């Protein structure tokens, strides 16, 4: 890797200050070298995915969280665009529906987890329930949790329990064959402003902008604290967090791709055994003699 993995990985149990992480870090990459490396990485991931799918023992859950305009959609498109769609899915989570609110908050995420051999990408995830809801705790009341009938009851113990629930959920699925990689795309406030302005100034990008983005930007510091708490409370051995510098999209894409490739390479992936040679030879003869 042409970057220091220790600069973007969070060791389980370590308490981080999110402001210590450089949003512009790019290792020794330049824009051109990163784009060239990404093409190679895409090819490697495609080959690895074929074996991962055929091996059919593990599943891979990739979680992307970020502030608005941090580049999640672009990362998905560039890193995973070359993969076989039969073995890779993307699920983007919006505000929960009425039906989803009739269940616990993890239910809608659990039911779209990847089966064995599959790669599932969560564009936003169950972590919205300790990010958006922490900035806007009044949203919790919509979940109609017994005993939580006012914002005053959403206290430190409530959040500690919720982090524990998420950790237990991830521990359970990891112990049953799902490998988890979590990426927080770390965007600076100045760069977000530039990207918002670009969306406003470019007609074909206007659809990407929402006035709600400006409203949420006013809570920038609240969101940063929520992200920091999320990472500190839920980075574990079986589901580690990576804080990906996102001011340079070309670096965030190659960093994500490299980490995923190294993870898949670390697994003891194998193609299923072929049938006995004599059976294959008999099949060959039958085809030739048709």
CA distance 142 to 102: 10
Per the CB < 8 A criterion, the answer to whether 65 and 184 are in contact is yes
Domains annotated for the chain, with CATH where assigned, are 5-288 (3.40.50.300)
Q: Calculate the alpha carbon distances from 121 to 65, 80, 88, 157 in Å.
A: 11, 9, 8, 30
Q: Where are the beta strands (DSSP E) in the chain?
A: 59-66, 88-92, 119-123, 178-186, 241-245
Q: What is the pTM of this model?
A: 0.94
Q: How far apart are the first and last CA of the chain?
A: 52
Per the structure block, which two tokens stand in for 109? 């995420």
Per the CB < 8 A criterion, the answer to whether 94 and 125 are in contact is no
Burial of 227 (0-12, 13-18, 19+ CB in 10 A): buried
Angle between helices 72-80 and 31-55 (to 10 degrees): 70
Output the CA angle 20-234-193, nearest 5 degrees: 45
Phi, psi values for residue 251, rounded to 5°: -80, -45
Per the CB < 8 A criterion, the answer to whether 267 and 179 are in contact is yes
Per the structure block, which two tokens stand in for 36? 């060239």
- Output the tens digit of pLDDT for each of the chain's 290 residues: 799 999 999 999 899 999 999 999 999 999 999 999 999 999 999 999 999 999 999 999 999 999 999 999 999 999 999 999 999 999 999 999 999 999 999 999 999 999 999 999 999 999 999 999 999 999 999 999 999 999 999 999 999 999 999 999 999 999 999 999 999 999 999 999 999 999 999 999 999 899 999 999 999 999 999 999 999 999 999 999 999 999 999 999 999 999 999 999 999 999 998 888 888 888 999 999 98
């Amino acid at each position: 890797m042409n970057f220091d993995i220790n600069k973007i990985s969070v060791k389980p149990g370590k308490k981080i200050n999110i402001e210590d992480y450089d949003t512009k870090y790019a290792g020794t990459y330049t824009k051109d070298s990163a784009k060239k490396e990404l093409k190679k990485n895409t090819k490697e991931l495609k080959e690895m995915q074929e074996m991962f799918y055929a091996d059919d023992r593990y599943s891979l859950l990739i979680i992307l969280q970020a502030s608005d305009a941090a580049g999640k959609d672009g990362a998905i498109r560039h890193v995973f665009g070359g993969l076989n769609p039969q073995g890779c899915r993307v699920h983007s989570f919006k505000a929960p529906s009425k039906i989803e609110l009739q269940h616990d908050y993890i239910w809608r995420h659990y039911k779209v987890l990847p089966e064995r051999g599959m790669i599932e990408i969560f564009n936003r995830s169950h972590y919205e329930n300790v990010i958006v809801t922490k900035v806007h705790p009044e949203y919790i009341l919509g979940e109609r949790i017994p005993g939580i009938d006012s914002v005053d009851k959403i206290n430190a113990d409530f959040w500690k329990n919720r982090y524990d629930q998420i950790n237990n959920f991830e521990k359970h699925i990891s112990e049953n064959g799902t490998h988890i990689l979590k990426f927080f795309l770390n965007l600076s406030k100045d760069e977000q402003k530039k990207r918002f302005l670009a969306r406003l100034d470019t007609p074909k990008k206007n659809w990407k902008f929402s006035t709600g983005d400006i409203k949420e930007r006013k809570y920038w510091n609240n969101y940063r604290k929520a992200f920091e708490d999320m990472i500190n409370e839920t980075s574990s051995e079986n589901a580690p967090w990576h804080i990906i510098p996102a001011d340079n999209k070309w670096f965030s894409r190659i960093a994500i791709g490299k980490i995923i490739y190294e993870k898949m390479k670390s697994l003891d992936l194998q193609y299923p055994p072929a049938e006995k040679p004599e059976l294959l030879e008999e099949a060959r003869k039958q085809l030739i003699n048709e």
